[in-house]
């Protein structure tokens, strides 16, 4: 009997060992498995290279400057001082430039001067991965009008800041290159002080749909297949969910299209390159586009999207603006369900279908 | 680097001279853009390319 028991014991133990061995083999790595969509190293090189051509880089800042201005207009609605602000993915500190712009408030009565937003900000930390781009405009006069601090970090997806550090986090046209957006938003929520806003703008949805479509057709007709040339982008409908999941409250999401006209598709691609926004998808084809595809693309782009008699071709940039607040303080909370005492129908009227 | 034309600018310049051929090719692709396949408009493309090559030699 005793020997049998021992035998059983070793047998079952062996079984456990075998199953656990199988389990380790088949199990996932701990934590969130992450799919890498964008090649961070490529993106870093592109940004660096673009910024080193200072003249071209400044000339193609029109989009980033405009969006930074529109983003900062949203900050005007929050009537408080921000001692410590982070600009996440600052590019060439376009937000700092917008913050130092006086008379930003278009709602102010005409003739009255409104001070620049920078007066309400004690310290602005600009963070990005590219040293060349971040420090491109070190010498420009706007640097003296705001207490600006530049941080070059190796990776935008891991933020080196303590929890509850910032009174506001801003981000303009950088988050479309982030691989793990949910994780980044969670980090942003953590580094914010309670009851502080996160305001961001990013390219989304239909951005560059013209180029995406015409390049696909050109690829198909010339080479018989497609390869990704334009990044996959976040859809407007997903942004609310993303912010919610990261723990943000009182969300506002809105969309704005900016359509830029270019003389031809080559000029569009050159500008994208000078902005440091060229293709950085992980599984893209190595090397530049073939000349045949470029030629075909130009013809198809014009045939598909150019209006009759228009001087150039349109390129749509869809901006998604988002505002989320970190929970805390005496923030307004939604009331309990069913606690309403007034019937909305009494106030707004209507509610019955009128028979024609 | 002043006065240095980038290769892509030369391509753009040469392509601009072939607008008729480009329009014909574009029209051909768009005529059936739901089922584009390889070399569907090869005739039109070769015409566009010939024009492009001639134009880039001149320019």
pLDDT of chain B, 59 residues: tens digit per residue: 445 678 888 899 999 999 999 999 999 999 998 999 999 999 999 999 999 999 998 76
pLDDT band at A283 (very low <50, low <70, confident <90, very high): confident
In a domain, B33, yes or no: yes
Above 60 in pLDDT, residue A24? no
User: Is A224's CB within 8 Å of B37's CB?
Assistant: yes
Q: Which residues of A touch B38 (CB under 8 A)?
A: 220-224
Q: Which residue of A56, A299, A310 to mutate against B (max B Cβ within 10 Å)?
A: A299
Cβ of B16 under 8 Å from any chain A Cβ? yes
Mean pLDDT of A252-281: 94
Query: A297 vs chain B: nearest CA distance in angstroms?
Result: 9
**What ipTM was reported for this prediction?**
0.92
Cβ of B4 under 8 Å from any chain A Cβ? no
Kindly write down the DSSP assignment for every residue of B1-59, as one continuous string: -TT---HHHHHHHHHHTTHHHHHHHHHHHHTTGGG--TTTTHHHHHHHHHHHHHHHHH-
Largest CA distance in chain B: 46
Above 70 in pLDDT, residue A9? no
Above 70 in pLDDT, residue A155? yes
Ranges A3-17, A22-36, A190-204, most confident: A190-204
User: Is B26's CB within 8 Å of A223's CB?
Assistant: no
In a domain, B41, yes or no: yes
Q: What's the predicted TM-score (pTM) here? A: 0.84
Give percent of chain A above pLDDT 90: 71
Which residue range forms the structural domain that includes residue B26? 19-58
Are A307 and B30 in contact by the 8 Å Cβ rule? The answer is: no
Above 70 in pLDDT, residue A23? no
Q: Strands A313-326 and A197-203, how do they pair?
A: antiparallel
Q: Could you say which of A221, A223, A263 has the minimum Cβ distance to residue B29?
A: A221
pLDDT band at A36 (very low <50, low <70, confident <90, very high): confident
Kindly write down the DSSP assignment for every residue of A31-89, as one continuous string: S------B-HHHHHHHHHHHHHSHHHHHHTTHHHHHHHHHHHHHHTTS-S-EEEEEEES
Residue A38, phi then psi, degrees to nearest 5:
-105, 145
Distance CA A276, CA A58 (A): 11
* Least-confidence region, from A23-27, A60-64, A82-86, A208-212: A23-27
Cβ of A56 under 8 Å from any chain B Cβ? no
In a domain, B54, yes or no: yes
Q: What is the pLDDT of residue A335?
A: 85
Q: What is the pLDDT of residues A287-299, one digit of tens each?
A: 888 899 999 999 9
Which residue from B minimizes the CA distance to A301?
B26
Distance CA A178, CA A233 (A): 10
Q: What is the pLDDT of residue B1?
A: 44
Q: Which residue's entry shows tokens 């009851």? A: A195
Mean pLDDT of A151-178: 95
Above 60 in pLDDT, residue A312? yes
Instruction: Determine the topology of domain A35-205+234-257+318-328 in CATH.
Output: Rossmann fold (3.40.50)
In a domain, B48, yes or no: yes
In a domain, B37, yes or no: yes
Are A123 and A161 in contact by the 8 Å Cβ rule? The answer is: no
Instruction: Pick the closest to residue A96 from A50, A153, A52, A137 (CA basis).
Output: A137
Q: What is the pLDDT of residue A11?
A: 41
- Mean of the per-residue pLDDT values for chain B? 89
User: Is A220's CB within 8 Å of B41's CB?
Assistant: no
Above 70 in pLDDT, residue A229? yes
Cβ of A289 under 8 Å from any chain B Cβ? no
Q: Which residue of B14, B25, B49 to mutate against A (max A Cβ within 10 Å)?
A: B25
Query: A247 vs chain B: nearest CA distance in angstroms?
Result: 43
User: Is B33's CB within 8 Å of A217's CB?
Assistant: yes
Cβ of A270 under 8 Å from any chain B Cβ? yes
In a domain, B44, yes or no: yes
Cβ of B37 under 8 Å from any chain A Cβ? yes
Q: What is the pLDDT of residue B46?
A: 96
In eight-state DSSP terms, residue A177 is G
Instruction: Pick the closest to residue A295 from B13, B32, B33 (CA basis).
Output: B13
Q: Which residue of B3, B5, B7, B45 to mutate against A (max A Cβ within 10 Å)?
A: B45
Q: Which residues of B touch A221 (CB under 8 A)?
A: 29, 36-41, 45
Distance CA A269, CA A260 (A): 13
Residue A298, phi then psi, degrees to nearest 5:
-60, -45
Distance CA B36, CA A217 (A): 7
In a domain, B5, yes or no: no
Total number of domains constituting chain B: 1
Q: Which residue's entry shows tokens 């990704």? A: A228
Q: What is the pLDDT of residue A100?
A: 94
Beta bridge partners of A149: A125
Q: What is the pLDDT of residue A32?
A: 62
In a domain, B1, yes or no: no
Which residue from B minimizes the CA distance to A273?
B8
Q: Which residues of B touch A270 (CB under 8 A)?
A: 6, 8-9
pLDDT band at A28 (very low <50, low <70, confident <90, very high): low
């Amino acid at each position: 009997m005793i020997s049998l028991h021992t035998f059983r014991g070793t047998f079952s133990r062996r079984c456990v060992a075998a199953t656990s061995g199988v389990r380790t083999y088949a199990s996932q790595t701990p934590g969130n498995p992450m799919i890498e969509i964008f090649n961070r190293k490529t993106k870093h090189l592109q940004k660096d290279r673009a910024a080193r051509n200072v003249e071209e880089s400044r000339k193609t800042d029109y989009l980033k400057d405009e969006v930074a201005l529109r983003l900062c207009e949203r900050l005007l609605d929050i009537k408080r001082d921000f001692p410590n602000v982070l600009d996440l993915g600052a590019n060439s500190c376009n937000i700092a430039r917008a913050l130092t712009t006086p008379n930003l408030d278009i709602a102010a009565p005409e003739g009255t001067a409104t001070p620049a937003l920078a007066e309400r900000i004690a310290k602005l930390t600009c963070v990005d991965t590219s040293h060349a781009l971040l420090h491109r405009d070190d010498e420009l006069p706007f640097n003296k009008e705001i207490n600006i601090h530049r941080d070059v970090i190796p990776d935008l997806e891991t933020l080196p800041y303590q929890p509850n550090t910032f009174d506001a986090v801003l981000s303009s046209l950088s988050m479309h290159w982030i691989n793990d957006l949910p994780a980044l938003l969670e980090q942003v929520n953590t580094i914010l002080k309670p009851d502080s806003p996160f305001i961001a703008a990013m390219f989304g949805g239909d951005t560059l749909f013209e180029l995406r479509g015409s390049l696909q057709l050109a690829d198909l007709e010339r080479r018989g297949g497609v390869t990704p040339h334009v990044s996959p982008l976040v859809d407007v409908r997903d942004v609310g969910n993303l912010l919610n999941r990261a723990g943000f409250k009182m969300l506002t999401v809105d969309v704005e299209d900016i359509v830029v006209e270019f003389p031809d598709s080559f000029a569009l691609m050159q500008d994208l390159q000078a902005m440091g926004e060229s293709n950085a998808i992980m599984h893209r084809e190595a090397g530049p586009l073939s000349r045949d595809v470029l030629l075909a693309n130009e013809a198809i782009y014009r045939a598909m999207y150019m209006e009759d008699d228009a001087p150039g071709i349109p390129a749509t940039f869809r901006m998604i603006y988002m505002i989320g607040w970190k929970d805390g303080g005496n923030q307004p909370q939604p009331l309990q369900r069913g606690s309403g005492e007034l019937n909305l129908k009494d106030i707004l009227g209507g509610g019955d279908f009128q028979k024609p | 680097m002043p006065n240095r034309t980038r290769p892509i600018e030369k391509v753009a310049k040469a392509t601009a001279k072939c607008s008729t051929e480009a329009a014909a090719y574009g029209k051909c692709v768009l005529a059936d853009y739901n089922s584009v396949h390889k070399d569907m408009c090869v005739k039109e493309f070769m015409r566009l390319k010939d024009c492009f090559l001639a134009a880039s030699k001149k320019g």
